[in-house]
Amino acid sequence: MKPIADIAKLVDIHEEDLELYGKYKAKLSPELWEKVKDRPDGKLVLVTAMNPNPAGAGKTLTTIGLSQSLNKLGKRAIAALREPSLGPCLGMKGGATGSGRAQILPADEINLHFTGDIHAITSAHNLLAAMIDNHIHHGNERRLNPKKIVWKRAMDMNDRALRNIVIGLGDGNGQTREDGFLITTASEIMAILCLSESLADLRDRLGKIIIGYDLDDKPVTPADIRAVDAMCVLLKDALKPNLVQTAEGTPVIVHGGPFANIAHGCSSVIGTRLGLKLADYVVTEAGFGADLGAEKFFNIKCRKAGLTPSAAVLVVTVRALKYNGGIPVAQLHEENLDALRAGFANVQRHVENLRSFGVPVVIALNSFHTDTEQEQSEVIALCQKLGADVALSRVWAEGSEGGIDLAEKVIQAAQSASSFTYLYEDQLPIREKIERIVTKLYRGAGVRFSKAALQTMRKAEEMGLSHFPVCMAKTPYSFSDQPDQLGAPSDFTIQVSEIRISQGAGFLVVLTGSLVTMPGLPKKPAAESVFLNEDGEVEGLA
Amino acid sequence: MKPIADIAKLVDIHEEDLELYGKYKAKLSPELWEKVKDRPDGKLVLVTAMNPNPAGAGKTLTTIGLSQSLNKLGKRAIAALREPSLGPCLGMKGGATGSGRAQILPADEINLHFTGDIHAITSAHNLLAAMIDNHIHHGNERRLNPKKIVWKRAMDMNDRALRNIVIGLGDGNGQTREDGFLITTASEIMAILCLSESLADLRDRLGKIIIGYDLDDKPVTPADIRAVDAMCVLLKDALKPNLVQTAEGTPVIVHGGPFANIAHGCSSVIGTRLGLKLADYVVTEAGFGADLGAEKFFNIKCRKAGLTPSAAVLVVTVRALKYNGGIPVAQLHEENLDALRAGFANVQRHVENLRSFGVPVVIALNSFHTDTEQEQSEVIALCQKLGADVALSRVWAEGSEGGIDLAEKVIQAAQSASSFTYLYEDQLPIREKIERIVTKLYRGAGVRFSKAALQTMRKAEEMGLSHFPVCMAKTPYSFSDQPDQLGAPSDFTIQVSEIRISQGAGFLVVLTGSLVTMPGLPKKPAAESVFLNEDGEVEGLA
């Protein structure tokens, strides 16, 4: 690792604009934005993927590797990534900082408390929750309906026992009512932080969160109970993007980490916009496969922030292809060209979808050691038949050297003049936005709405929020809402069970099926395998 | 503010041993301890106070001011303070970084997230809680009795609605059971962190926490459910002391902040011991008045860490004297020499108590703008009649200049050879330890134990823990367990309602009356008054 001040110099950031957190992490000051904001933007490259297989696709890995390869080719490149959440790190998933020779550093610190952003969001979230119950306890001036509080509490931990709870038991302990905890990454504050353009914008959005309804069924906000300023105070440093480096010394902005179902699953707008002023290329990723991640990146993040993507990289793996071709996880290491061809229908649909946004697509075949040469050749041939650029990526084993072909193809793709377009315009009615996503991207036959969903839709219209984009919460494993319908299913109907209004984030969350916003720990959580070695260093996390 | 690296140089700390958190905060590396551990110790000065009045005594202020004055007199001095907790900062109390010309900086950052230590403790606490319920959920191999889990959850927020809750409601969400949240400063992990001498000691102590009992009523620990190493991983940086500065550039170690009732209320052993190697004088404080704070500082912290205090400063104020003389808060600004003389009985008893530990006492009369000259002269005369050194302290208004007299008297007092002694030896039976504190220091007639307390006492004896010191949890306002018995009450009986075993911290918590370990917010919480000004700076916190 090089001192972060040296990394900053690579993109002309001077020490005065760095707030150091140790030698290898820094926050970028708001003054830096003021200095660079009038520069032209670099090119924005989205890394997305086919529907994920349980073993992972290598999207973060490819994002990091591609940024290293672009640098190797003499382009000034920055990767823009999400912050890992402690809950999954210590639960099922482990670290989220890439691996092999495409990692970001210092990995352990990024995976653990990092610069405290997520802790700050937890604090702001729970301050608001405490102020709500305190408001009711001390006379309830705003006439909040205790049965209609929708603002839960938050913790950055996987803790299923906190999903559904009863609070306020016992004399003097406030209103007894049902409640629950979200994992912090599912907090609307996380989505807000990631979509805010400035401190003023953050303040404005926080004030609009719907925390519940009053006895006249009118929405109540943090502004109504004087919580907004204290929340801003708690979040002021979390809003500043964090600078770290890849294993090869490429600058990386790691900032914000919203859930990819109940939220939009992209790193912060502030970080991405700043990156575009500092570099020729900003390589970023979005959560889950392209049906969710890329769709939300384009329709929510790019729309809200006025960003124009220059290219999209679709990460495919031989394993994910075979999984989508019907092979169970335990057999994914065995060569199976038929399954691979069958699974390719999934890739084809994602490519068509990405192209429908007017964005050039490059396919990255992320190499894995169990792949056979024949399998890899077959994937490349199938991609070429589709008329798509494709590159074999070996960034895990080879770092930047393994992504040169990919980087060259991305540079070429990003040269063409943009014809980027959203899937729907703001004015389209809410129902039609959802139907358009389902029929045009998922290729379903239609949408069935629950009564509750229709009611909330009407409420949102009455509140003048029908211009909001929709944020689909769907299983990532399938284009449909059934996780076992792999490949390229069609003729299905999407069931919308519920719609939630994220007025602060500025979107409507559309729930298909039930949504778990507080994960549980597995029987043997990752927490059981991490430890400090004799030198006091973390082992067993990544 | 000077760069923290410059402040560090004042006590010969080189940049390589600093982990910077911005320009003005740093953590001190474990390697620094290795370099200095064989040096002789400086002198340790405890700042304590009479029983507090609701307006505060100025203990933190005096600690900071005295360290500045010692520096002014050419002594190398460091203040060692507790970290403020977010809950009280945003609740009733506001910031805890001193005020006037005796402040520590950067005050807002120290009061808010600081270097993330308390967030790390919250995370470690809640990881353990999640792993307990997860253990039960996945088969309960260790046969934990769900009705006898004593490890609650934690949050650094004042949130009364979380005091008593029911968790695990709903299918698939774990065992349904009663639970509750503590404020993080009440977590045994906070006490452990503050008493640990090293990472190895921390690990050992964490492994000994009693999280509950199994179906055979045997205690179960984090070690039994493989949670210890992950907790260490989360706490490794929090264990490193933090360096900041006073408004006059005196180095300050701010580290750890345990509750002064359920825990011992002192900053970290690691920070204090390091300070003693770096400076001629370490000035530190303990929570509440001397009956709780100084007693625990001597009997718990000094005993566990092998520290020998050279002097104690007892902070008294004209207001606190009048309050202890029976004057209500609203009238404390009015001159009242009779009430002041009556209240002095409180000071007299604290001085006698401190002397009984073999520690020289200097009384600091912390000047307040409503004091009359006659009142201040009367206090000084009363102190002198007691044969006690006394100095008028004006550090709030004048900084180091206002504490010169105090500093000179402290230097003189600290010259004498130590005759420091504990109030009781390890071997004294638990019951007699409690009785000795009550009769010798509180001057009560005796102790009445509840059946539950006697049971736990027996259990502790069976577990071989009778050598533990006791940690009294009593109202801070009175020597007795009744907050309205001010001054110097006697002939009272202390009611012990419960005893809790803090096996990791290494003490037995003795509860007198009910103990709230999760504060609530007042009707108008401090959170409603803080905001960011146009320059993005925090206002309204201190």
Three-state SS letters, B371-386 = CCHHHHHHHHHHHHHC
Are A531 and B139 an interchain contact pair (Cβ–Cβ within 8 Å)? Answer: no
pLDDT tens digits for B419-460? Answer: 999 999 999 999 999 999 999 999 999 999 999 999 999 999
The closest of A66, A68, A111 to A87, measured between CA atoms, is: A111
The closest of A197, A190, A381 to A271, measured between CA atoms, is: A197
Residue B422 vs residues B43, B50, B296, B440, B503: alpha-carbon distances, Å = 18, 20, 10, 12, 21
Report how far residue B318's alpha carbon sits from residue B489's, in angstroms, rounded to the nearest whole number: 19
Of B119, B203, B521, the CB nearest to A134: B521
Of B23, B134, B532, the CB nearest to A525: B134
Q: Stretch A449-467: mean pLDDT, rounded?
A: 97
A229, A339: one domain: no
Q: Stretch A259-284: mean pLDDT, rounded?
A: 97
Q: Stretch A295-311: mean pLDDT, rounded?
A: 98
Are A163 and B173 an interchain contact pair (Cβ–Cβ within 8 Å)? Answer: yes
- The total of other beta-carbon atoms located within 10 Å of residue B226's CB is 16
**Do B307 and B195 touch, CB atoms closer than 8 A?**
no
Residues of A with CB below 8 A from B23's CB? Answer: 19-20
Residue A364: pLDDT band with limits 50, 70, 90: very high
Structural domain harbouring A176: 117-235
pLDDT at A57: 87
Total count of domains within chain A? 3
Is B309 a member of any domain? yes
**Do A341 and A378 touch, CB atoms closer than 8 A?**
yes
The closest of B394, B410, B392, B382 to B325, measured between CA atoms, is: B382
Strand, helix or coil at B266? Answer: strand
Give the residue on A whose Cα is nearest the Cα of B25.
A21
C-alpha distance from A141 to closest chain B C-alpha (Å): 11
Mean pLDDT of chain B: 96
Mean pLDDT of chain A: 96
Residue B37 has pLDDT above 80, yes or no: yes
Give the residue on B whose Cα is nearest the Cα of A238.
B113
Give the residue on B whose Cα is nearest the Cα of A234.
B112
**Do B242 and B114 touch, CB atoms closer than 8 A?**
yes
Q: What percent of chain B has pLDDT over 90?
A: 95
Residue B433 vs residues A108, A176, B446, B457: alpha-carbon distances, Å = 45, 41, 12, 12
Of A119, A167, A229, the CB nearest to B530: A229
Of A496-505, B84-93, B214-223, give the lowest mean pLDDT range. Answer: B84-93
pLDDT at A515: 85
Q: Stretch A290-297: mean pLDDT, rounded?
A: 98
Of B19, B30, B167, the CB nearest to A161: B167
pLDDT at A300: 98
Report how far residue B414's alpha carbon sits from residue B108's, in angstroms, rounded to the nearest whole number: 34
Residues of B with CB below 8 A from A155's CB? Answer: 126, 155
pLDDT at A363: 98
Are A527 and B163 an interchain contact pair (Cβ–Cβ within 8 Å)? Answer: no
CATH number, domain of A130, equals 3.30.1510.10
Is B422 a member of any domain? no
Residue A373 vs residues A213, A345, A366, A369, B221: alpha-carbon distances, Å = 60, 21, 13, 10, 52
**Which residue of B86, B167, B179, B182 is the best one to mutate when testing the A interface, meaning the one whose CB has the most A CBs within 10 A?**
B167
Q: What is the DSSP code string of B18-48?
A: EEEBSSS-EEEPHHHHHHHTTSPP-EEEEEE
A362, A452: one domain: no
Of B119, B167, B229, the CB nearest to A531: B229
Are B90 and A127 an interchain contact pair (Cβ–Cβ within 8 Å)? Answer: yes
- Token pair in block for residue A5: 């001040």
The closest of A80, A67, A95, A112 to A242, measured between CA atoms, is: A80
Burial class (CB in 10 A: 0-12, 13-18, 19+), B69: buried
* ipTM of the shown complex: 0.96
Q: Stretch A391-404: mean pLDDT, rounded?
A: 98
**Would you state the torsion angle of the CA atoms of residues B347, B349, B350, B353, taken in this order, to the nearest 10 degrees?**
160
**Which residue of B141, B165, B183, B196 is the best one to mutate when testing the A interface, meaning the one whose CB has the most A CBs within 10 A?**
B165
Residues of A with CB below 8 A from B90's CB? Answer: 127, 230
How many CA atoms lie within 13 Å of A249's alpha carbon, on the beta-carbon side? 12
pLDDT tens digits for A100-125? Answer: 999 999 999 999 999 999 999 999 99
Residue B8: pLDDT band with limits 50, 70, 90: very high
pLDDT at A513: 83
Are B22 and A23 an interchain contact pair (Cβ–Cβ within 8 Å)? Answer: no
Are B229 and A127 an interchain contact pair (Cβ–Cβ within 8 Å)? Answer: no
pLDDT tens digits for B369-389? Answer: 999 999 999 999 999 999 999
pLDDT at B418: 82
Residue B95: pLDDT band with limits 50, 70, 90: confident
Are B167 and A169 an interchain contact pair (Cβ–Cβ within 8 Å)? Answer: no
Report how far residue A461's alpha carbon sits from residue A464's, in angstroms, rounded to the nearest whole number: 5
- Conformational region of residue B508, where left means phi above 0, alpha means psi within -120 to 50, and beta covers everything else: beta
A291, A307: one domain: yes
Residue A542 has pLDDT above 90, yes or no: no
Residues of B with CB below 8 A from A159's CB? Answer: 126, 129-130, 133
Residue A424: pLDDT band with limits 50, 70, 90: very high
Of B170, B173, B236, the CB nearest to A536: B236
Of B126, B178, B541, the CB nearest to A155: B126
Task: Give the residue, B53 or A489, on which the prediction is more confident.
Answer: A489
Q: Stretch A481-491: mean pLDDT, rounded?
A: 95
Task: Give the residue, A376 or B55, on which the prediction is more confident.
Answer: A376
**Do A442 and A356 touch, CB atoms closer than 8 A?**
no
Are A173 and B160 an interchain contact pair (Cβ–Cβ within 8 Å)? Answer: yes
Q: What is the DSSP code string of A464-510?
A: T-TTSPEEEE--SS-SSSSTT--SS--S-EEEE-EEEEETTTTEEEE
Of A20, A112, A168, the CB nearest to B22: A20
The closest of A293, A325, A323, A321 to A309, measured between CA atoms, is: A293
pLDDT at B515: 84
Residues of B with CB below 8 A from A116's CB? Answer: 113, 116, 119
Query: First-to-last CA distance in chain A?
Result: 17
Is B60 a member of any domain? yes
Residues of B with CB below 8 A from A153's CB? Answer: 162
A26, A57: one domain: yes
**Which residue of B34, B160, B225, B523 is the best one to mutate when testing the A interface, meaning the one whose CB has the most A CBs within 10 A?**
B160
Residue A162 has pLDDT above 80, yes or no: yes
Report how far residue B82's alpha carbon sits from residue B77's, in angstroms, rounded to the nearest whole number: 17
Residue A255 has pLDDT above 90, yes or no: yes
Residue B71 has pLDDT above 80, yes or no: yes
A103, A185: one domain: no
Report how far residue A532's alpha carbon sits from residue A435's, in angstroms, rounded to the nearest whole number: 51
A399, A442: one domain: no
Q: Stretch A34-40: mean pLDDT, rounded?
A: 97
Q: Stretch A392-407: mean pLDDT, rounded?
A: 98
Phi/psi for B18 (5° steps) reads -105, 135
- Token pair in block for residue A271: 């970080």
Residue A93 has pLDDT above 80, yes or no: no
Residue B288 has pLDDT above 80, yes or no: yes
Q: Which of B235, B251, B270 is the last residue of a domain?
A: B235
Q: Which of B177, B211, B235 is the last residue of a domain?
A: B235
**Do B234 and B61 touch, CB atoms closer than 8 A?**
no
**Which residue of A14, A92, A173, A179 is the best one to mutate when testing the B interface, meaning the one whose CB has the most B CBs within 10 A?**
A173
**Which residue of A109, A131, A178 is the best one to mutate when testing the B interface, meaning the one whose CB has the most B CBs within 10 A?**
A131
Residue A53: pLDDT band with limits 50, 70, 90: confident
Is B424 a member of any domain? no
Give the residue on B whose Cα is nearest the Cα of A158.
B130
C-alpha distance from B516 to closest chain A C-alpha (Å): 11
pLDDT at A514: 83
Is B106 a member of any domain? yes
Is B542 a member of any domain? no
Side chain identity at residue A404, one-letter code: I
pLDDT at B514: 83
Phi/psi for A465 (5° steps) reads -110, 15
**Do A470 and A330 touch, CB atoms closer than 8 A?**
no
Are B157 and A112 an interchain contact pair (Cβ–Cβ within 8 Å)? Answer: no
Are A123 and B138 an interchain contact pair (Cβ–Cβ within 8 Å)? Answer: no
CATH number, domain of A487, equals 3.10.410.10
Report how far residue B193's alpha carbon sits from residue B207's, in angstroms, rounded to the nearest whole number: 13
Give the residue on B whose Cα is nearest the Cα of A113.
B120
**Which residue of A532, A537, A538, A539 is the best one to mutate when testing the B interface, meaning the one whose CB has the most B CBs within 10 A?**
A532
Q: Which of B364, B379, B414 is the last residue of a domain?
A: B414
Q: Rounded to an integer, what is the distance from CA B399 to the centroid of its chain?
A: 24
Residues of A with CB below 8 A from B165's CB? Answer: 165-169
Residues of B with CB below 8 A from A130's CB? Answer: 157-159, 161, 521
Residue A250: pLDDT band with limits 50, 70, 90: very high
A395, A444: one domain: no
Are B131 and A521 an interchain contact pair (Cβ–Cβ within 8 Å)? Answer: yes
Is B518 a member of any domain? no
Residue A54: pLDDT band with limits 50, 70, 90: confident
B374, B449: one domain: no
Burial class (CB in 10 A: 0-12, 13-18, 19+), A39: exposed
Q: What percent of chain B has pLDDT over 70?
A: 99
What one-character DSSP code corresponds to residue B16? G
A261, A396: one domain: yes
A362, A302: one domain: yes
C-alpha distance from B90 to closest chain A C-alpha (Å): 8
**Would you state the torsion angle of the CA atoms of residues B136, B138, B142, B147, taken in this order, to the nearest 10 degrees?**
10
Are A162 and B167 an interchain contact pair (Cβ–Cβ within 8 Å)? Answer: yes
Q: Stretch B20-40: mean pLDDT, rounded?
A: 95
pLDDT at B57: 87
A386, A254: one domain: yes
pLDDT at A180: 98
Residue B210: pLDDT band with limits 50, 70, 90: very high
Are B23 and A22 an interchain contact pair (Cβ–Cβ within 8 Å)? Answer: no
- Conformational region of residue A273, where left means phi above 0, alpha means psi within -120 to 50, and beta covers everything else: alpha
pLDDT at A207: 98
Is B535 a member of any domain? no
Residue A92: pLDDT band with limits 50, 70, 90: confident
Give the residue on A whose Cα is nearest the Cα of B532.
A233
A112, A147: one domain: no
CATH number, domain of B266, equals 3.40.50.300
pLDDT at A349: 98
**Do B173 and A178 touch, CB atoms closer than 8 A?**
no
